[in-house]
Structure 1
Amino acid sequence: MKHVSRSLFLLLVCLRLHGVSGAAEKVRVAVKEGDSVTLYTGVQTNQHENINWYIGYLLARINGDLSNICTDVQCNEYTERFRGRLKLDYQTGSLTIMNTRNTDSGDYTLHITSDSSFSEKIFSVYVTGVSGVDKVSGMEGDSVTLNSGVQTNQQDRMTWYLNGIRIALINRNQSQICTDVQCNNTERFRGRLKLDHQTGSLTIMNITNTDSGEYTLLINNRNRFSEKIFSVSFRGVSGVDTKEKMEGNPFILNTGILTNQQLLVRWYYNGILITEISGENASIRDSSFICSADVQCNEDTERFRGRLKMYHHTGSLSITNTRNTDSGVYKLMIISDSRISEKIFSVYVHGESSCPTPFQLGIYAAVAVAVAVILLIVAVIYCYKRRARRNEANRTERDKQASGAEDSSPDQDALF
């Protein structure tokens, strides 16, 4: 009986592998061209026999005891499509695609098998450029509307995503409508989303700096898909931490978190991924780097050339031997089970002979005003004392003249 049950299980696995069973769970992931994207398994490799990734053919494989591991050309000798841009997480089997290209778009299928179960998950990856992005900005506390430009009754389904996470949905007959926590198990917006039932446009009310990011609208009409991307940012500077350093001195950008409480911690420099650490289900000691230096994260750049250090327990970023070319915007992205948060650092690195910064100019101006006031006070005191001395001298001269006039007047008794 035991052999019969195992045979039936293997038969079911074969049917799933050949697409005979029902639809698998499907996750949509959007990534900007040039960035890295990680497809998460949600499991541990040591609890399963095999974890396989497919994109029409075997793309990557890892088994429970790590005795059988391959990626790209190691799995399939006839293709070098990714050319070293794939990385497998040995603890989870999650797959990272680095330096993404538009040709990387497609369905990535994950098969997980163990002694008694088989599961399948499909990741629909969309790699987008920046030319088709609508930029929207607002001040904290304002409302921002992302216009769809269509009518809901002319579309089968309209879905909104923020950084790959579904946040709103509406279909043609409005039998399916959700926003925020109704669409997923997170309360990131906490009732601040409003969906227009006629157009599917999305309004974000009372916006905060954590609402910044890439909002993607996916429109499905008779199995034809189109998308529209909105990049939402803030004009205010209240959420920006400003750092100023002298060239050559190190500085640290602190996260204020612990990595073992997060899924992923990423650092970007002017929009380019420079370092990344995974803390999912890991202790401080077990936190594992996905990429720990700029060239490992992005093969087209060696800007920092070994001058970056990322702390395992906090994810804080240290930059040594700083140069003025290190000035710019550093963005911290923290991904946890229930939310995505961001923190922005504006860094200015200057040399001794460089032009003064606005902060320095302010100090110089304040010192100049203080010196001018002191000089004015000294001048007033000097003029006052000089005038007093002159008045005293004039008074003395007048007294002398008066005394001389009395001495030279004729004696009245002598006249008689």
Structure 2
Amino acid sequence: MSLFLFILLACLRLHGVFGVDTEEVSVMEGDSVTLNIGVQTDQEDRIIWYYKGIRIAVISGDHSYTCTDVQCNKGNERFRARLELDHQTGSLTIMNTRITDSGEYTLVIFSRFSDSEKIFSVSVHGVFGFDTVKVSVIEGDSVTLNTGVQTNQQDGIIWYYKGIRIAVISGDLSKFCTDVQCNEGTERFRDRLKLDHQTGSLTIMNTNLEDSGEYTLVISNIFSDNEKIFSVSVHGVFGFDTVKVSVMEGDSVTLNSGVQTNHQHKIIWYYKGIRIAVISGDLSKFCTDVQCNEDNVRFGGRLKLDHQTGSLTIMNTNLEDSGEYTLLISSFFSNSEKIFSVSVHDPNSDSTPFLSRLQAVVVVSVSAGVIAILLIVAVICCCKCRARRKANRTKRGRQASGAEDSSPDQRNTFLMTDLSDSNLHQAEAANETPS
């Protein structure tokens, strides 16, 4: 009995209670939505909720520690008191949903026997078919995201990049900030943001590839809150391509930088815009995961940096490690970027990636075609051989029949001819003999 219990607990620890599927949730903008975990917690459980890798809610089984949104992460006020945790189950409710609340929410339950995960993919749909403004720019150029309004003393304008506040301006200019001034843990744009005091429009200067993504504008006044989304695409000058990497869940994968570091190089890795690893050429600065960003425990010590090249290894991969990883290499002369699109596949899933299925179909089709051609050739050769044998038998039969039909005079003539030839050869041989 004890052995069975041990095996059962080991399986729970390896596979978790939820499996690997993502639960799809849809809600209309302005309504509330509850993400149900489907289990009862106890005093030894600890529940953590993440939104796009950022911790947004925590509750311990004995309620000794509970937090939501900005209480859990000082620099994150993404939901602005719109989150509610159920103390009995740990389920999370998002109130007064907005278009920008769409995305992946990850639930992690830590208990004495197992660590379990569950992913909710939330889609918030606008009541009036809210559209996203698409903006395209060449790397290195500047781009302005226009609000289309004139601010007044009652308006407050806030800009978000992938849910992180990057710029704020109040109508009376009593509050004004960009980038790290608005959020201590964010140095994503490094003084490349500029706000228009009259309109609140945002300009991104000297754009780079990892500036691509969704920018959300929130305009608040005493009557209502309005939102607008800008989808920005930054294209490389030389047609920068994304390196696609595929790995099976549980295996390790290395994202190769392709360079040798030196004292002038600084290498920074980002995952979905969040810094996850840093190394300087002289090794004076070195960190991975939570060491680089104390609010980010996304990888749980599964990252490893190569000191010589700055290449990043992700160990014991899981499905939610999939996504874009951006490598930024800074030197005295220039900055360069490289994007890796990582796909982690479930080895036990019945659904094989499309490319693999296509390759399998092609291989089977080609093999079947080759076999069919070989069979046809074999049949043709066999038919030809049979026809040739039949023709030879017919020919021999005709020859034999012709020999039997020959007259005695003909046979004597043949015999005399043979004897004459023999006598002639003997005479020639006698003449050649020396005297």
TM-score (norm: length of structure 2): 0.42
**Higher Cα Rg: structure 1 or 2?**
2
